[in-house]
Structure 1
Amino acid sequence: MNYLWNYQNSSTKQLEESHKLAKELGINPILGKLLIQRGIHTPNDARTFFHPQLKDLHDPFLMKDMDIAVDRLNQAIGNKERILIYGDYDVDGTTSVSLVYRFLQEYYSNIDYYIPNRYNEGYGVSQQGIDFAKETGVSLIIVLDCGIKAVEEITYAKNKGIDFIICDHHVPDDVLPPAIAILNAKRLDNTYPYTDLSGCGVGFKFMQAFAQNNGIEFHNLVPLLDLVAVSIASDIVPIMGENRILAYHGLKQLNNNPSIGLKSIIDVCSLEDREITISDIVFKIGPRINASGRIENGKEAVDLLIERDYEKAIKIAKRINEYNETRKDLDKNMTEEANQIVENISDLSDLRSVVLYNEKWHQGVIGIVASRLTEVYYRPAVVLCKSGEFATGSARSVPGFDIYKAIEHCKDLLESFGGHTYAAGLSLKEENIKEFNRRFEAYVTEHILPEQTHPSINIDAELDFQEITRKFCKDLKKFNPYGPYNQKPIFCTHQVYDYGTSKVVGRNQEHIKLELIDSKSNNILNGIAFGQSNHVRYIKSRRSFDICYTIEANTHRKGEIQLHIEDIKPIE
């Protein structure tokens, strides 16, 4: 892919500020520049960023309706009411349900959990789920990672004498459901200082408030932070502010003492002997948890995440791993079909979006296929399939473009919709697909910026190899955990050369294992360039080229660093 390299230039004032900050902290000025780019301007703010503390979490009672939610939960427990923990079938939903269920189960036994079936009930609160609650004597439902738009369903539940507490983080409509309490920092009347919690994060804050109100020590909540970290990574929410604290300590829990369920997934993924990162969650742990809801039922993921017996957990984990293999096959076949359709669109170069519909496609994989299309064609993508009487779809976006607003623009054509800036879901009647396609394309064309229509790499700073010292790498590691708004820094070095030992590797000889030197030192650095073997002839010619890369620990050789090459530009 031909990437544009966007250099993050700093003003004279910013450079002076970054040098001053770096000097006070005893770090390389380039790392000072990275801090300034992240809005961190003082040594104290930098220390807070480098060493997130649980004591800096916000008071949960700052959230609108939190006092009402805690009072209603206390009332339910005091009256021995039956409580149902209800959540979405994706990673954020299943971790949310697992967290709240596991914590409350320590203090109260008359509780159950429920995950709707993706294919029979669809996303969010369903009438079928409410009927199940009524039949089993439930009078309070705590719904997590969904529910903010379930006005009709929660009205239906209210008429049956069932109260709802909503813990959600999706964008609400103007009219809120008639729930007893709505915990959502995206409410228009929000009073909470941080608005980017995951669904599981909102559930955690609810349990933090419940614990605080009932004299339960905070350390009883710490073992649940591994679930919060998994949700934050998988739901692609910003890893700054309160999410950074939760993710930082959640990763510590995941690495040092994970819950039995997560330990079994770690073992199935063969991650047991290495430090688990946000990337490992995104690409290995999360997809396996998700596969349960995509292929079978998300309830099985909760069964795993609350399990206390390792032998039982590993059996479920292996079964879920098999679902993930099935998911991969479906994903591969559907992506190939989708690519063929797109490549046959005669006016593709004139289009700024992709909307595809195939009634036979598998509903559990359409979100992944939409992601693949945005990566290949660099356009916001909506992929639809048939689900009951409606077409159901998933939408994914390119960096910087708000796909939720694009879908909201077409809401009069939709039966339902919801989501975030970069990912959304929707359903509509088949006869509305053509008009939706037209209106969606028109909105994208009008609002997308030129730089959002071409693959690009944002270069944080230029480095010489002599600057990549052990201390530099040690200080850089403090920027972890990485994610939205704190992306892994990408550096570039100009005029590097093959040391003479670079070679192609991989099953199909598609990658390059590099040994490089630059023009300013004799430092030899190892690198890996995945899928870029087309450059090997140029590299072996001993001519100079530019590289952009992230700096990683070499997983095969402890203590060694490796450049993960994002792109190579020959110098003509």
Structure 2
Amino acid sequence: MDNKLLDLDYYNSLSGDEFGQEMKRGIHRLHQAFINQEKVVIWGDSRIDGVMATTVLIEGLKSFFSGENNLLTHYISDVEGFTKENVDFLVQQNPHVIILVDLECDNFEVINYVQDLGIDIIIIDHHSLAIDRANVISCLNPLNFAKNHPFYHFSAVAIAYKFLESFYHKYSQKNTEELLDLVTLGLLANGDILQGEYLFWMLKGSELIDNKNRYAIKLFVDKCEHKKIDVIDYKQGLGMWLKVFNIINDSNLVIELFTTEDRSRRGRLMANVEKSYDTFLGLKEKILKQFHKKIANLDLFNDRVIVIEDNQWDKKLFPLIGSFISEKYQHPTILFSHNEGSIVRGFAYSCHNLDLWNILQNQQYLLISLSKYHQHIEISLSAENIELLTNNLNQQLRNTNPQLYSTKNTYLRVSIENLGKNLYKDLKLIKRFNIYQELPQLLIKNCWFTNIKDIKTQDISNENLAHNIVFFILNDDKNQQGFNGKWEGHYSSEINPNCRYDVICQLDYNQEKKIYFIKIIQLINIQNNTRFENNINYPLNILDYRHDIISLKTIHEEKIAVKECPLQWQEVFDKSQQAMTKNKDLVLAYTHNNNSEIEQLWITFIQLIKNSIKHNQLSSIEQICSTLSVKKETLSIILNSLDNLHITYTVIDDKIKFSENRSTFLPENYLKVKHLFEEIIAQENLQKTYFHQVPIMTIKEEITVNKIVNSE
């Protein structure tokens, strides 16, 4: 093999000059701002591409605009995006230049409004291309290139990096390659297809990530290694962690994680990242299980597209779930959700390199909106048009792609003696040049299991999560010493130690323990050619009053009831054990209906404290918990943080007395307390929403499995 193919030094990267005058005007205006010490605001979109592009720009420009005058700030847009109201808010910071990042800036009325205020605009965008050029200093949009140009498919984080590269080349001796670790994280989180420039950046960025030069990335890598996760794995690694954290929490926290100089704050944020990801794992498993039941009712042989409407789950999670479904069932997938009115919003994922975007464009007469965002497509339409859209898509795909699903899986057949370092090294060489291509699947025939055990995954508080992992040793006739392995999302009861199996798996490496192991993809019992299943008898009867307000009020005290909305499965397991011991029904006697905005809850909380101090009144703990919809333990964490605002509290019986030591406090302390409050409320609300909506059958299954595991 020609070594140059693997040598990054031989890659010739195109410069940002490909953008022509747009790039020259943009970097010139930014340099003027630097010379004149003008204020620059980076205004980014709240989705992960815009967030990471904003992070790259902040890190790349902070050395030019540092100092006491705080000349470089950022603002993450809400869902409304580039609006006059948001502009009016931003104008309070007196900016001279605004860099708009990933905001689909085609609203010329708002652009002209900004220009009339004497503020110059630089646009970084890639979603759409207006017929007329906006009246701005610079508009960096790769859609201006021909489709075969290397920059045509650039995302926001890629354009931001090229912008900095050109700025550095013209006005500085610094090397932008030190930012490629952040760019790599952005590409991973976006799910961008790696080709050309992206591949070069990814390989360089992966080296920087491995070196752990950036403290925040060191925290990430250490966590991944501890959890035995491949850092650049697009399903579980750093990119997915970031994407989940950004969806569940305030996008500003992602930026703060990489830009703050406060290491203790970084540590707390990293703990929150891990907790968010652990929460998502549990939610993903439950959501997928419900969707699988819905899909079981579909005719996937004749249906060319999976279309599901489900209002139980927060639609923010759909972009994370849709890709798993389309990949598992090898069908393009659209997930719809609507909470009010007749308008439904959906997320569409393709597969088999199918151009689902063009197919959906043919159906635009049925749609209200259609926009492409990296690997998923966002659509909205009237609920009454869902069935018609589904039929049209199926018909169009049958006519144009009749062989779309006639694919056959290919496995590399090995024996246990082949597993280990040499095989892993060969497989990783393939992976290095296409991280979205899974490691080849291995087929090990006629093998059996020993040392089978279940281990519940735990969050950072060492609390058990719903996500279970089976660990084992796999044996065959050629090597009875065996080989370590794991099976995620399954239970030991699904493996019969007295049976022989064909195992489809992948080879992996545990960086922390320095051992190789396999991950099961599919398990086939060769004695009856079926997957091993257990016949489950549910151990107790459950009465579900979660959505029955009248029955909730009439529950007798002697009933074994879960009266507070749980945060962990263990709370349900404890009550179920009491019910089984006393041979009684288990009653789900809780509700959760927190529709208040977190910002409004914060205002309410602060106003409550002010009134309590002003009138020297005691506040009921139960009332505060009810208002914020949190548990007492969670309220305690929030109350302890108030010390940063010079507010103390005293617990008197079941009430609280607030006191103020000083009337002034640092603005950054206020923001820290507010961010902590928002993080905690969002996290608990997400977990409670899950336990309020989880189907009764899932609860029965979890209780049954827990009983089996604890009895072994």
TM-score by length of 1: 0.74
Residue in structure 2 matched with residue 24 of structure 1 by the alignment: none
Residue in structure 2 matched with residue 487 of structure 1 by the alignment: 437
Q: For the residues of structure 1 that align with 2:287 and 2:438, how far apart are their CA atoms?
A: 31
Structure 1 261/324 Cα, relative in aligned 2: closer, same or farther at 3 Å? same
Amino acid at match of 1:363: K
1:111-150 alignment, distance < 5 Å = 111-118=72-79, 121=80, 124-147=81-104
Q: For the residues of structure 2 that align with 1:462 and 1:183, how far apart are their CA atoms?
A: 49
Residue in structure 2 matched with residue 33 of structure 1 by the alignment: none
Q: Is the 8 A contact 1:358 1:385 kept in 2?
A: yes
Per the alignment, in what secondary structure is the counterpart of residue 424 of structure 1?
A: strand
Q: For the residues of structure 1 that align with 2:474 and 2:361, how far apart are their CA atoms?
A: 50
Q: Deviations over 1:223-268 (max 9, x none)?
A: 322211111212112234322222222222223234333444455x
1:308-347 alignment, distance < 5 Å = 308-324=261-277, 327=280, 331=284, 335=288, 338-339=291-292, 341-343=294-296
Q: For the residues of structure 2 that align with 1:283 and 1:327, how far apart are their CA atoms?
A: 11
- 1:416: Cα distance to partner? 3.4
Q: For the residues of structure 1 that align with 2:281 and 2:441, how far apart are their CA atoms?
A: 32
Structure 1 81/199 Cα, relative in aligned 2: closer, same or farther at 3 Å? same
Q: Is the 8 A contact 1:366 1:394 kept in 2?
A: yes
Q: For the residues of structure 2 that align with 1:464 and 1:330, how far apart are their CA atoms?
A: 36
Per the alignment, in what secondary structure is the counterpart of residue 193 of structure 1?
A: coil
Per the alignment, in what secondary structure is the counterpart of residue 562 of structure 1?
A: strand
Per the alignment, in what secondary structure is the counterpart of residue 142 of structure 2?
A: coil
Residue in structure 2 matched with residue 278 of structure 1 by the alignment: 232
Residue in structure 2 matched with residue 553 of structure 1 by the alignment: 509
Residue in structure 1 matched with residue 170 of structure 2 by the alignment: 213
Residue in structure 2 matched with residue 3 of structure 1 by the alignment: none
Amino acid at match of 2:77: P
Amino acid at match of 2:266: A
Residue in structure 2 matched with residue 107 of structure 1 by the alignment: 64
Structure 1 518/493 Cα, relative in aligned 2: closer, same or farther at 3 Å? farther
Aligned match for 1:307, one of 249, 254, 260: 260
Q: Deviations over 1:326-360 (max 9, x none)?
A: 55566566555555555556x67643223334556
Residue in structure 2 matched with residue 200 of structure 1 by the alignment: 157
Q: Is the 8 A contact 2:82 2:105 kept in 1?
A: no
Q: 183-192 or 307-316: which moved more?
A: 183-192
Structure 1 372/60 Cα, relative in aligned 2: closer, same or farther at 3 Å? same
Q: For the residues of structure 2 that align with 1:198 and 1:396, how far apart are their CA atoms?
A: 18
Q: Is the 8 A contact 1:103 1:207 kept in 2?
A: yes
Q: Is the 8 A contact 1:86 1:114 kept in 2?
A: yes
Q: Is the 8 A contact 2:416 2:475 kept in 1?
A: no
Residue in structure 2 matched with residue 374 of structure 1 by the alignment: 326
Q: For the residues of structure 2 that align with 1:492 and 1:272, how far apart are their CA atoms?
A: 25
Which structure carries more relative contact order (alpha carbon 8 Å, separation 6+)? 1
- 1:536: Cα distance to partner? 4.9
Q: For the residues of structure 1 that align with 2:186 and 2:480, how far apart are their CA atoms?
A: 44
Residue in structure 2 matched with residue 384 of structure 1 by the alignment: 336
Residue in structure 1 matched with residue 474 of structure 2 by the alignment: 515
Amino acid at match of 1:290: K
1:18-417 alignment, distance < 5 Å = 21=1, 43-48=2-7, 52-53=8-9, 56-64=12-20, 65-109=22-66, 110-118=71-79, 121=80, 124-147=81-104, 154=111, 157-158=114-115, 160-170=117-127, 172=129, 179-189=136-146, 192-218=149-175, 221-266=176-221, 269=223, 271=225, 277-279=231-233, 282-324=235-277, 327=280, 331=284, 335=288, 338-339=291-292, 341-343=294-296, 350-358=302-310, 361-375=313-327, 377-386=329-338, 390-417=343-370
Residue in structure 1 matched with residue 643 of structure 2 by the alignment: none
Q: 324-333 or 224-233: which moved more?
A: 324-333
Unaligned runs of 5+ in 1: 1-20, 22-42
- 1:86: Cα distance to partner? 2.1
Q: Is the 8 A contact 1:414 1:427 kept in 2?
A: yes
Structure 1 553/401 Cα, relative in aligned 2: closer, same or farther at 3 Å? same
Q: For the residues of structure 2 that align with 1:89 and 1:474, how far apart are their CA atoms?
A: 39
- 1:548: Cα distance to partner? 4.8
Q: 58-67 or 243-252: which moved more?
A: 58-67
Structure 1 292/478 Cα, relative in aligned 2: closer, same or farther at 3 Å? closer
Amino acid at match of 1:553: Y
Structure 1 356/570 Cα, relative in aligned 2: closer, same or farther at 3 Å? closer
Per the alignment, in what secondary structure is the counterpart of residue 354 of structure 2?
A: coil
Q: For the residues of structure 2 that align with 1:81 and 1:232, how far apart are their CA atoms?
A: 31
Per the alignment, in what secondary structure is the counterpart of residue 58 of structure 2?
A: helix
Per the alignment, in what secondary structure is the counterpart of residue 182 of structure 1?
A: strand
Q: For the residues of structure 2 that align with 1:273 and 1:373, how far apart are their CA atoms?
A: 24
Structure 1 155/443 Cα, relative in aligned 2: closer, same or farther at 3 Å? farther
Indicate the RMSD between aligned Cα atoms, in angstroms: 4.1
Q: For the residues of structure 1 that align with 2:293 and 2:522, how far apart are their CA atoms?
A: 27
Per the alignment, in what secondary structure is the counterpart of residue 432 of structure 2?
A: coil
Amino acid at match of 2:73: D
- 1:129: Cα distance to partner? 3.1
Structure 1 213/152 Cα, relative in aligned 2: closer, same or farther at 3 Å? same
Structure 1 274/429 Cα, relative in aligned 2: closer, same or farther at 3 Å? closer
Q: 71-80 or 188-197: which moved more?
A: 188-197
Structure 1 532/91 Cα, relative in aligned 2: closer, same or farther at 3 Å? same
Q: For the residues of structure 2 that align with 1:191 and 1:349, how far apart are their CA atoms?
A: 35
1:459-538 alignment, distance < 5 Å = 459=411, 470-471=421-422, 473-481=424-432, 483=434, 487-490=437-440, 492=442, 496-498=445-447, 502=450, 504-507=452-455, 511=470, 513-517=472-476, 526-528=484-486, 530=488, 531=490, 536-537=495-496
Q: For the residues of structure 1 that align with 2:110 and 2:406, how far apart are their CA atoms?
A: 39
Q: Is the 8 A contact 1:261 1:308 kept in 2?
A: no
Amino acid at match of 2:454: G
TM-score by length of 2: 0.61
- Sequence identity of aligned pairs in percent? 19
Structure 1 548/355 Cα, relative in aligned 2: closer, same or farther at 3 Å? closer
Q: 80-89 or 317-326: which moved more?
A: 317-326
Structure of larger gyration radius? 2
Q: Deviations over 1:474-510 (max 9, x none)?
A: 45444453645x624415457x443x66454434997
Residue in structure 1 matched with residue 536 of structure 2 by the alignment: none
Q: Is the 8 A contact 2:499 2:525 kept in 1?
A: no
Q: For the residues of structure 2 that align with 1:472 and 1:349, how far apart are their CA atoms?
A: 36
- 1:210: Cα distance to partner? 0.7
Unaligned runs of 5+ in 2: 457-467, 530-712
Structure 1 99/251 Cα, relative in aligned 2: closer, same or farther at 3 Å? same
Q: For the residues of structure 2 that align with 1:334 and 1:541, how far apart are their CA atoms?
A: 31
Per the alignment, in what secondary structure is the counterpart of residue 253 of structure 1?
A: helix
Q: For the residues of structure 2 that align with 1:179 and 1:388, how far apart are their CA atoms?
A: 38
Q: For the residues of structure 2 that align with 1:80 and 1:387, how far apart are their CA atoms?
A: 48
- 1:205: Cα distance to partner? 1.4
Structure 1 553/140 Cα, relative in aligned 2: closer, same or farther at 3 Å? same
Residue in structure 1 matched with residue 591 of structure 2 by the alignment: none
Amino acid at match of 1:232: L
Q: 148-157 or 353-362: which moved more?
A: 148-157
- 1:82: Cα distance to partner? 2.7
Q: Is the 8 A contact 1:491 1:549 kept in 2?
A: yes
Amino acid at match of 1:115: I
